[in-house]
Structure 1
Amino acid sequence: MLPSDLLIHRPRGNSIDAKQLPLEEPWVAIATNLIALFQSTVGDTQGSLNQKLQQLEGEDTDYRIKRGLAHILRSSFSTFEIVSPLEPQDLRQRIFALAAVRAPSPVAANQHLETLASQLTQELDKDVEPIHIQQGLYADLKENRILTQFDAPTPEALIHRYNLSQVQGIFYRASHVVLNLHRNDPGEYKLMFRYLKLFRLMTYIEGEADQGFTITIDGPASLFKASTRYGLDIAKLVPAILHVTRWHLSATLQWKDSYTKALSEKAYILDSECDLVSHYPPGKPYDSMVEAAFAERWTALVDKGKTQWQLEREVDLIPIPGSVMIPDFRLVHPDGPVYLLEIVGYWRPDYLRKKFAQVQKSDCQNLILAISERLNLAKAGVDIKSVPAKIVWFKDKLQPKPVLTLLETLGENTQPT
């Protein structure tokens, strides 16, 4: 995505317009030139790349657009690495220690550095040249990092990513987002809900698969201090929405006038007829950090033969009156028992009340809740004793052991209903 200083948004009455580039020759040519510039700089430093980009910008009025395109190429398609025979900090300590033995005159300083590099090369006993020592001395500075790999997109793909990034930037200032998913393929709903869980968005879901769902999302400027990080998480959801066939989105924005600095409320509307193109894969999203760590630990136990319970990510929707639940995992035993696992992490009281109300409405007898001990359930008004689910408590990380212990208590041959 683009940083705020490269976003080009224009108020239009009570709404906001985001800059969009057409797939026409002038913009395709600019995108082509930028991609070629990055390709020609592979093996050179980021500082050298920045100099070339400044020359390409020239004094044209479209410099912000060029910078935006370059930012996407730099952040999404490029790999910069520190290239040094030692960690640069260790290398500097070694060089400075050698230099402290005998300080050179200012006239001989450059020659002295070459001498020190040659001396250190011999001490390292590696296939290292003195020039590598000199280049690696400050290789950790951003401008000295080497562009080691560039996965070139097509010019059209770059323009699509730019247009999408401009729209995503609008949601940095969202206070309220309502997403209507009309009647679609059930698989599209499951993918959408997976992304909602992945980005840990505060959502309220109403509806049913046969009619569609309304998803209400609290924005970073809603009930608490505006959070740029949370605004980015909402923006990350936009490419996922594009995989749904029929949808409509409306957002309320807290917009600051660039001249008067006055804060006002603006609206933004987007739907499935837009021309935006997603770069997300159409398959399932990656796990969140908590889920990924738990799944990794569980897989290790299975690989070592320490449990027969298989952990699956593809989980069916649990219909509840007027809404839906989608647990994080399914636990399946070869003898037949199946349990669903939902991880309840860090959320504010209102969200917790609604979450546990959903659990009660679901009347799901094979549901396991893994609940963080950091949550203040009493403050949220949640009576955990009334929740019709099996409970596992965890602190910072959810470990497989307490879940396995619960499963053993339930009995591997118990068939949940």
Structure 2
Amino acid sequence: MLPTELLSHRQNGEEIIPKRLKIDDNHLAIATELTSCFQEAVGKTQGALERQLSELEGDTPDYRVKRGLAYILKSSFCTFEVVSPLEPQMLRERVFALAAKSPPSRELTETTLTHIADELSHELEREVLPKQVREGLYADLSENKILTAFDAPAPHDLLHRYNLSQVQGVFYRASQLVINAHRNVPGQYKLLFRYLKLFQLMSYIEGDADHGFTITIDGPTSLFTPSTRYGLAIAKLIPALLHVTKWSLSTILQIRDPYTNTWKTGRFTLNSECGLVSHYSTGKPYDSMLEESFADKWESTKTDWVLEREVDLIPIPGSVMIPDFRLVHPDGRSLLLEIVGYWRPEYLQKKFSQVRRAGRDDLILAISERLNLEKAGVQLNDVPARIVWFKDKLLPKAVLAVME
């Protein structure tokens, strides 16, 4: 994402409109030129790269666009490393300690570097040159770090990332965000809810899978102490939302007027027709090897029950529960299966609380015998679900037994 100083937004009344680049020949040429600059800089210092980028910017009016694209390339596609024969701080200590024994001079400097290089060659059992010692002394400074790898994106992908970053920047100063995720494929919901949890966003969820969900998220400016980090967490949710087929959102913003230096209220809306492109993965088919192993074994089991992956959602007050599997019989019967493997006590408490609040009589809980439920404060006597215990692997026959 882009830092605040590289965001370009304009205001139309209370509506905030982030700048988005057209995917045209002009902007594709700029993206290509910048990408080539980074490719040529592989093996060179970050300082050398910055000087080259500064020359490309020149005094053209689109310097902010170039600077923004370069920032995305540098932060998301580059690997900068400290290249030194020894950790720079330790290397400085050895060189300075030896140099302090003699009066400073150019000749003695070269002698000192050569002496340290010889010592390191012996210690590391490989040749270390005086030049490497000199370059390694301050290799930990950002401008001296070496660009060791560059995973070049396609020019249009870079422009899409820039447009997405401009929109994400809107949410840095959000006071509240309301997302309406309309009826969608349940797996898409799960990906969205997973990112809500990953970014530790304070949310309230209402609705169900048949009609959709309304997700209300408190923004950073609604907290007692506004948090830039929390605003970034909300911004990170947007690429995950783009994987949902049909949705809309609205947010209220607190923005500072650059002329009067006063705070004003702004508004921003977005929906699934926005044309933005996500760079997030759609996720793995299974959350764990345990789930994948169970699904593989089910394929070879002789039964009329059909195993379906994450196709049902259980709404509970303020949240939602998404069972791992649904089991469907040709005669119309269906059951939900949730696998509870190895997890920390806080997760277990929340999981079993969800099961109790859901109050479903069609739910099967497969619980690992390795879990210390008593230590986690979990009691099973009031859990409204069928229980299947397993050790290392969950076997289909154990699930079938409790079903029948």
8 Å Cα contact 1:321/1:361 also seen in 2: yes
Give yes or no for the alignment of 1:259 onto 2:259.
yes
Structure 1 residues not aligned, in runs of 5+? 288-294, 300-313, 331-336, 372-383, 391-402
Q: What is the one-letter code of the residue matched to 1:2?
A: L
8 Å Cα contact 1:338/1:416 also seen in 2: no
Q: Distance between the aligned counterparts of 1:315 and 1:239, measured in 2?
A: 21
Q: CA deviation at 1:68?
A: 0.6
Q: How does 1:324-343 map to 2 (within 5 A)?
A: 325-326=320-321, 340-341=339-340
Q: Which residue of 1 aligns with 2:79?
A: 79
Q: CA deviation at 1:53?
A: 0.7
Write out per-residue CA displacement over residues 236-256 of structure 1, whole angstroms, 9 at most, x where no aligned residue.
Answer: 111111111111110111111
Q: Which residue of 1 aligns with 2:102?
A: 103
Give yes or no for the alignment of 1:2 onto 2:5.
no
Could you say if the C-alpha distance between residues 317 and 222 of structure 1 is closer, same or farther in structure 2, counting changes exceeding 3 Å?
Answer: farther
Q: Which residue of 1 aligns with 2:376?
A: none
Q: CA deviation at 1:30?
A: 1.1
Q: Which residue of 2 aligns with 1:59?
A: 59
8 Å Cα contact 2:187/2:310 also seen in 1: no
Give yes or no for the alignment of 1:230 onto 2:230.
yes
Give yes or no for the alignment of 1:138 onto 2:106.
no
Q: Which residue of 1 aligns with 2:30?
A: 30
Q: Distance between the aligned counterparts of 2:10 and 2:345, measured in 1?
A: 38
Q: Which residue of 1 aligns with 2:94?
A: 94
| Percent identity for Structure 1 against Structure 2 | 49
Match for 2:315 among 320, 340, 345?
A: 320
Q: How does 1:164-175 map to 2 (within 5 A)?
A: 164-175=164-175
Q: Distance between the aligned counterparts of 1:319 and 1:277, measured in 2?
A: 29
Partner SS, residue 39 of structure 1: helix
8 Å Cα contact 1:190/1:317 also seen in 2: no
Write out per-residue CA displacement over residues 108-154 of structure 1, whole angstroms, 9 at most, x where no aligned residue.
Answer: 45434443344434543422222222211211111111101111111
Q: Distance between the aligned counterparts of 2:240 and 2:143, measured in 1?
A: 34
Q: CA deviation at 1:97?
A: 2.6
CA root-mean-square deviation:
4.0
Q: Distance between the aligned counterparts of 2:228 and 2:312, measured in 1?
A: 31
Q: Which residue of 2 aligns with 1:126?
A: 126
Partner SS, residue 147 of structure 1: strand
Give yes or no for the alignment of 1:183 onto 2:178.
no
Q: CA deviation at 1:218?
A: 1.1
8 Å Cα contact 1:172/1:231 also seen in 2: yes
Q: What is the one-letter code of the residue matched to 1:266?
A: G
Partner SS, residue 217 of structure 2: strand
Q: Distance between the aligned counterparts of 2:316 and 2:145, measured in 1?
A: 55
Partner SS, residue 44 of structure 1: coil
Q: CA deviation at 1:329?
A: 7.4
Q: CA deviation at 1:340?
A: 4.5
**TM, length-normalised to structure 2:** 0.76
Q: What is the one-letter code of the residue matched to 1:161?
A: R
Q: Which residue of 2 aligns with 1:163?
A: 163
Q: What is the one-letter code of the residue matched to 2:320?
A: M
Write out per-residue CA displacement over residues 328-353 of structure 1, whole angstroms, 9 at most, x where no aligned residue.
Answer: 979xxxxxx96544979999xxxx99
Q: Distance between the aligned counterparts of 1:138 and 1:285, measured in 2?
A: 46
8 Å Cα contact 1:207/1:324 also seen in 2: no
Give yes or no for the alignment of 1:270 onto 2:270.
yes
Q: CA deviation at 1:224?
A: 2.5
**TM, length-normalised to structure 1:** 0.74
Q: What is the one-letter code of the residue matched to 2:82?
A: I
Q: Distance between the aligned counterparts of 1:217 and 1:83, measured in 2?
A: 44
Q: CA deviation at 1:5?
A: 1.1
Could you say if the C-alpha distance between residues 9 and 344 of structure 1 is closer, same or farther in structure 2, counting changes exceeding 3 Å?
Answer: farther
Q: Which residue of 2 aligns with 1:378?
A: none
Give yes or no for the alignment of 1:115 onto 2:114.
yes
Q: CA deviation at 1:230?
A: 1.2
Structure 2 residues not aligned, in runs of 5+? 292-308, 326-335, 373-378
Q: Which residue of 2 aligns with 1:302?
A: none
Q: What is the one-letter code of the residue matched to 1:240?
A: A
Q: Which residue of 2 aligns with 1:360?
A: 357
Q: Which residue of 2 aligns with 1:396?
A: none
8 Å Cα contact 1:194/1:285 also seen in 2: no
Could you say if the C-alpha distance between residues 174 and 82 of structure 1 is closer, same or farther in structure 2, counting changes exceeding 3 Å?
Answer: same
8 Å Cα contact 1:208/1:324 also seen in 2: no
